[in-house]
Structure formats: C-alpha cells, structure tokens
Amino acid sequence: MNKNINIFKISESKINLLDLNRQDLRYFLTSLGAKSFCTEQIMKWIYNHYCNDFYKMFNISIKIRNKLYEKSYISASEFIEEKISYDGTIKWITSINNQRIETVYIPEKKRSTLCISSQIGCSLKCNFCATGKAGFQRNLKVSEIIAQIWQANKILKEKNITNHVTNIVFMGMGEPLLNLNNVVSALKIILDEYGFGLSKRRITLSTSGIVPALDKLRNTIDVSLAISLHAPNDIIRNLIMPINKKYNISSILNSTLKYLKYSKANRDGVTIEYVMLDGVNDSNENAQQLATLLSNIPSKINLIPWNSFLGSSFLCSNIRRINIFANILRKRGFTAIIRKNRGQDINAACGQLTGSIINPLKK
C-alpha cells in the first residue's frame, strides 16, 4: 500500500502542494482523477514560474484546476523581516504563529549560498551555539523548508539580483537529522529537475551526528555531508556537545564512512566542521589528535572561527592560533580551510540564529 494514502485520507483540510515531493504529488493528483503527466506540469508552474494560482495554470484542464482549488493550495510563508549586512549577506525571517524561522543568503563571486533552517530552535544544546541555547520549539514542515528557497528566489528575482541561489546548506536553525522525514522529502524537491533542480554536490546537510538517522539517510538520499565534529576526542566533545554521550565520535565516523562508500556527492570527501574555541579545542596537541582521528576518513576540514552571542562564556581562538592549527593539519596532508564569517553584524553567522526580531520588511 502506498504509505501516503493516510496523508490524504486523514487530511480533512486542504493540502499545501509545497508539502509534496513529486511522488506524493503524483499520488495526490491521481486521486483527483488527473493524468500522471499533470504532476510535472504543475511542478513547472510552482518551481519554474513561482506561480501559486491554479487558475493561471492554463495547460491544466479546468476540471482538475477546480478540484485542486477545492482540495489544495500553494502557499510559501513570506519573509516579514530583512536585514542586509555590509558584506552583502541577507538575513530573512518568517513568522508563523509568532514562531520565527531564519534563512540566510550569502552571495559570493562564483556562487550564492542559501542557509536554511530545518527546525525552530534545537534540542541538542551544544553550549557554543545560540540556537541550542534558545531551546527547541518544533520541526519545520516540508512546505516551511521549501518556502525558504521559494521566497528567496522570488525576492532575488524581484530585486533583479542576478546572483540566484546556486547552493543550499542545512546550516540554519535546528538539527536536520532530527526532522529526517521532512528534510528528506524537501531534499527530493530541491534535487528534482522539476523542483529546484540543484545537483547533489551543491546541497550540504550539516549534522551533529545522529547516527541512526545518518544510517537511514545513507539508504535514502545522496547529498554532501558536513559533520559538526568540533573536538578531537570524546572528552572535549562531551563537554561542548551533550549529544556526544549518546553518539560518540567513533560511532559517527563509522556511520560517515559507510555513507561515503556509496556517495557520489561526497567523492572529494566529507566536510568536517570544527569551531575554534579559545583554550578548549585549539591547541597544537588537539590539531595533531584531530589529524590522527581523521587519518582514514577522506575529508576536508573547515575551521570555523567561533561567533559570539550574548550570554556565552566562550572566546574565539585568535587568528594566529587558528592559522597554526590549520598549518598542522595541512602538514599532515589535510585540506584545512578557515571559514570566512559572513553576516556577523546582523547576527546571521553560524550559530547566531535564534529567531529574534530584527528589521521589519517595508511593504
């Protein structure tokens, strides 16, 4: 039996088509009596033309358009606030029932990355992260994940910004692997040629390493992975990431290795994220330990200067220390990149997203 049957039977209310990937949409449309090819036609309207009005979909029969109108709708929550950084980074906020979703657009010369959220808040409480400190509110629906990309592309078009979104990173609020089903369904739409049509190498899922979910992901979808390691051993990781007591470093690296085995998206290796915390994880010895730990993991290491937020007692390692740390890793044969922090002045950098009020969008 199709597992989606329940969605449509139980649903008394109308369905938001942004909640459905191609397979779900086909099932829904067939249940309305539409021909199978109608699925691709409607996806084109939604994701190519950014059309949310069934009556403008002239190549769909009136009969099906009427049924669609009766049973469904297309709605992407609008951004209600916007803040633009001196470096061109834009932070947008959506508000749904007073809960805020944050999305960050980071333009670069050759690409533009959209950093999207998968949850409101996060339950994992990493103590260097403002999102973790703010606590967990809820998982985002597929449509709420998709709406961030849909609205960003639409706004960029309206502003005539030619740097449209070329890359997507799940590095906003939340732990994507704790919202696995919705994230996978959203990924399918992002990858789909009739959806946003991005290649798997341009989509990065960043995770603190929820091992059972990572194991499931391996059998479901291939995208670029970024593992938030942040420590060269379990003692330090336990101190800064409570989730390490459940899934320790070796279990995460084992699961990552299995993912890499079949992954084309990660054929240049997995990204290891390592936040630089002064006096916590940034010594020469820590760098050597990290290199040894990763010696059999094809990987590139992203060193992330820690971004401060109100109420945190950490300090960022100084740039000299970060360079020494990076050079030790390079001497041991790793690619070590020091990540540029973008949008710090508008609290849009890694780990600074809490969903707080910024600057209302003027309509």
So which residues are the catalytic ones?
102, 350
* Shortest distance (Å) from residue 307 CB to ligand SAH: 4
- CB 208, min distance to ligand SAH, A: 4
**For residues 23-32, b (16+ Cβ closer than 10 Å) or e, as one string?**
ebbbbbbeeb
Judged by CB, which is closer to ligand SAH: 24, or 175?
Answer: 175
If binding is defined by CB under 6 A, does position 167 make contact with ligand SF4? no
Partner whose binding site includes residue 16, from ligand SF4, ligand SAH, none (CB under 5 to 8 Å by kind): none
- The reply on whether position 208 binds ligand SF4 by CB under 6 A is yes
307 counts as binding ligand SAH under rule CB under 6 A? yes
**Closest approach of Cβ 173 to ligand SAH, in Å?**
7
CB 128, min distance to ligand SF4, A: 7
Residue nearest to ligand SF4 (CB): 132
Binding mask 252-291 for ligand SAH (x = CB under 6 A): ---------------------x-x----------------
- 156 sits near ligand SAH (criterion: CB under 6 A): no
Candidates 22-30, 123-131, 232-240, 325-333: pick the segment binding ligand SF4 (CB under 6 A): 123-131
Q: Is position 222 an interface residue for ligand SF4 (rule: CB under 6 A)?
A: no
In the bound complex, what is the minimum distance in angstroms from residue 273's beta carbon to ligand SF4? 9
Task: State how beta strands 72-73 and 79-84 pair.
Answer: unpaired
Candidates 126, 169, 221, 290; binder of ligand SF4 (CB under 6 A) is 126
Q: How far is the CB of 216 from ligand SF4 (least distance, A)?
A: 18
d(CA 274, CA 317): 12
Query: Which amino acid, 248?
Result: N
Q: Could you give the CA distance from residue 105 to residue 305 in angstroms, rounded to a whole number?
A: 19
Q: How far is CA 100 from CA 117, 345, 350, in A?
A: 10, 19, 17
Question: Distance from first CA to last CA of the chain, Å, rounded?
Answer: 47
The yes or no reply on residue 129 touching ligand SF4 (CB under 6 A) is yes
User: Among the candidate windows 45-53, 121-129, 276-284, 317-325, which touches ligand SF4 by CB under 6 A?
Assistant: 121-129
Binds ligand SF4 by CB under 6 A, chosen from 90, 114, 122, 211: 122
Q: Which stretch binds ligand SAH (CB under 6 A): 30-38, 53-61, 65-73, 299-307?
A: 299-307
Under rule CB under 6 A, how many of the chain's residues touch ligand SF4?
Answer: 11
Q: Does 225 interact with ligand SAH (rule: CB under 6 A)?
A: no
What token pair was written down for 350?
A: 């890694």
Q: Which 104-123 positions form the footprint of ligand SAH (CB under 6 A)?
A: 122
Residues that bind ligand SF4 (CB under 6 A): 122, 124-126, 129, 131-132, 174-175, 208, 228
Residues that bind ligand SAH (CB under 6 A): 122, 128-129, 171, 175, 206-208, 228, 230, 273, 275, 304, 306-307, 350-351
